[in-house]
Amino acid sequence: MIPDKWYEEPPSIEEIPKGFFVVIVDAAFKKGITGTAVVIKTKRKEYAPQTYSARSRGPIHAELISIKKGLQRLRNIKKHVKGAIVYNDNLYANFFLKGIWTPRRKYIKETVENIYDLINELGIKVEFIWIKGKHIRRVDRLAAKERRKEEERKEKQIQERVMKIEERIIRGRSVKICERDNKFFAISEKGDSLHCYEVSLDPPFCECQWWQKRWANKPEYIRKARALPCKHMCALAEYLGVDIFDIFEKQIWRVD
């Protein structure tokens, strides 16, 4: 039976019975980027905090992911586990896990199912306890630090994409665009020979080897999410007087 005071704040390592584990988790969410932190305690032992980055669809989803990470971390501890208490500060995540609310959104439902799959794998009883954030500030700070770290990494990736496209815009200025039968063709020189490729911006497409090798065989939803333009598309955008950065906005600025 869990002591009443444990519902107010997590127990110290001296209070935890042998074989039982306390898992304290939190998430820091902003614009799809999530940092999570996990602290695990057992009798007279606290494990080194672990932090993780993730993509999530909102703060509740982020908290559920942090709980999943905590149970994954517990699973990897090579000790006999009799039972566990999982603390976090998001009341709505606890509502889903306790069956008070039924998830309707697919990503929430899948994450809740993942959590219960982990519990079944552990073969133990897990109690989920909502707790005020002031009692897990250390974990909250670790999660926020991890999110900022991931934001910096993503910002660097975005800037690298921008630089690549700017380079292709410059290279594309040596490409000539022609129109024929309501289609566009890019003509570029390679050595002593001319190469002609059909090119389009809607939908994004080019017959050049670069585009064909990287994106031609990918499903449309992947191209819309991740494909970046070749120099021929950049040349076509300038020919049409449109901004290539607007056309590929989603792919350039994505954080997944």
Main-chain dihedrals φ then ψ at residue 123, nearest 5 degrees? 70, 35
**Which residues, in sequence order, are CB contacts of 154 under 8 Å at separation 6+?**
33, 255
The confidence score (pLDDT) of residue 184 equals 97
Burial of 152 (0-12, 13-18, 19+ CB in 10 A): exposed
Q: Which residue has the tokens 């989603």?
A: 250
The confidence score (pLDDT) of residue 132 equals 95
H or E, element range at 37: strand 33-42
Q: How far apart are CA 91 and CA 101, in angstroms?
A: 11
The confidence score (pLDDT) of residue 1 equals 79
Strands 125-130 and 83-88: parallel
The tokens describing 209, both together, are 């080897």
SS3 assignment, position 23: strand
Strands 33-42 and 20-30: antiparallel
The confidence score (pLDDT) of residue 191 equals 67
Burial of 49 (0-12, 13-18, 19+ CB in 10 A): middle
H or E, element range at 130: strand 125-130
Which tens digit of pLDDT belongs to each residue from 3-15?
999 999 999 999 9
The tokens describing 23, both together, are 């898992």
Closest CA to 67 of 55, 41, 85: 85
- pTM comes to 0.86
Domain locations in the chain as residue ranges: 4-151, 173-253
The confidence score (pLDDT) of residue 10 equals 96
The residues of the chain scoring below 70 in pLDDT are 191-192
One-letter amino acid identity for 241? G
Give the CATH number of domain 4-151; options: 3.20.20.60, 2.60.34.30, 3.30.420.10, 3.40.50.1000. 3.30.420.10
Sign of CA dihedral 63, 65, 71, 73: negative
